Amino acid sequence: MVGSTIRVTFEEPSHLLDKTMAFKIFTNEDKFFAEIFGVDLSTSLSSTEKADLLEAAHENAVLLFRNQNLNEEQHLNMSRQFGGLETTIQRGRKRRVKPEFADISNLDWDGTMLESDSGRAIYSSANQLWHSDASFRANPPKFSFLYAEEVVESGGETEFCDERAAWDALDPDMKEKIDGLVAWHSLMESRRRTGFLEFTDGEREAFPSVLQPIVRTHPATGRKNLFLGAHASHIENLERADGARLLDDLVEFATQECFVRSHTWSVGDLIMWDNRCVLHRGRPFNATMERRVMRRTTISGDGPIVVNGRPINELVSHGALNELI
């Protein structure tokens, strides 16, 4: 379905957190997708603001900040306050933005609009599949910060799925069956789904498939969640087709309307989400007629979460205190 009917709305009274925070936070009963008021991300955050933002992010998994005004440098500085930044996959092509940014736009390196059949447009269309950013990295990232510079008139929403609530709602037999399983993730897999096949041998070598757990425990909250998405192809120790189908079934379950929030972008919106427990996807728009210009920074994870083919205990290895940098 093009365009979604699920919209983020906040219940009244919305200030649900019992603790006094350095800013105002509006959230819902399910504590997924909150809006933050009274934080200017272009200036450096106080240690209280940062600690409170992390707490809010851990609790709500997705945070929206409206009316921000961030140039590239400010976007980078703000992001660095939450950890080291990933750099982009250098595909040997000219880029519109610095390597620390994912270019989430329908523009070419020189600012002209991409043709719909260009390699770049097809490559980027994988962002419209449910995914967790860069889950194909052996050390998968924590937060993403996506900032809107130019938005479209219709379509182009971003949807977010709460993989914690989805785990909670799974049938106990299914929980038992999948807890401890690991799946193969690769960049090639999500691109294969779009029909993009132009990888060089060098790129294939640079991004080998990696194993990730299907079920994770969030190191800061101890909550369990599913960990899925378009980079995942199949499951270790299951027949390939059986594993692929199981992954599809789980994504279908997790992305039911009750676990999903949709955001319609305005210029100056910034959304921070936690890739460890959230899936997201962009929605279609008229990409040859309207410009949609966004950029994203991505915070590196604390380390691999599968070692020797087995999921590590993230709570022990990357526990809450490590997060407060």
Per the CB < 8 A criterion, the answer to whether 304 and 134 are in contact is no
Binding residue for Mn ion, selected from 49, 133, 159, 274, defined by CB under 5 A: 133
As beta bridge partners, residue 234 has 184
| Partner in contact with 186, chosen from ligand OGA, Mn ion, none, beta carbon below 5 to 8 Å by kind | none
CB of 56 to ligand OGA, least distance (A): 20
* Residue (141 or 243) nearer to Mn ion, CB: 141
CB of 106 to ligand OGA, least distance (A): 9
Q: Which two tokens stand for residue 231?
A: 């980079």
* Residue (49 or 86) nearer to Mn ion, CB: 86
203, amino acid identity = E
Per the CB < 8 A criterion, the answer to whether 278 and 49 are in contact is no
Which residue minimizes CB distance to ligand OGA?
Answer: 282
* Residue (85 or 104) nearer to ligand OGA, CB: 104
| Partner in contact with 120, chosen from Mn ion, ligand OGA, none, beta carbon below 5 to 8 Å by kind | none
Stretch that binds Mn ion, among 79-87, 130-138, 157-165, 252-260 (CB under 5 A): 130-138
3-state helix, strand, coil in the chain (%, to 5): 25, 25, 50
The span from the CA of 108 to the CA of 28, in Å, is: 39
The span from the CA of 33 to the CA of 27, in Å, is: 7
Tell me the CB-side half-sphere exposure of residue 1, using CA atoms within 13 A.
Answer: 6
Q: What are the residues binding ligand OGA (CB under 6 A)?
A: 102, 104, 127, 133, 144, 146, 158, 280, 282, 296
Residue 86 binds Mn ion (CB under 5 A) = no
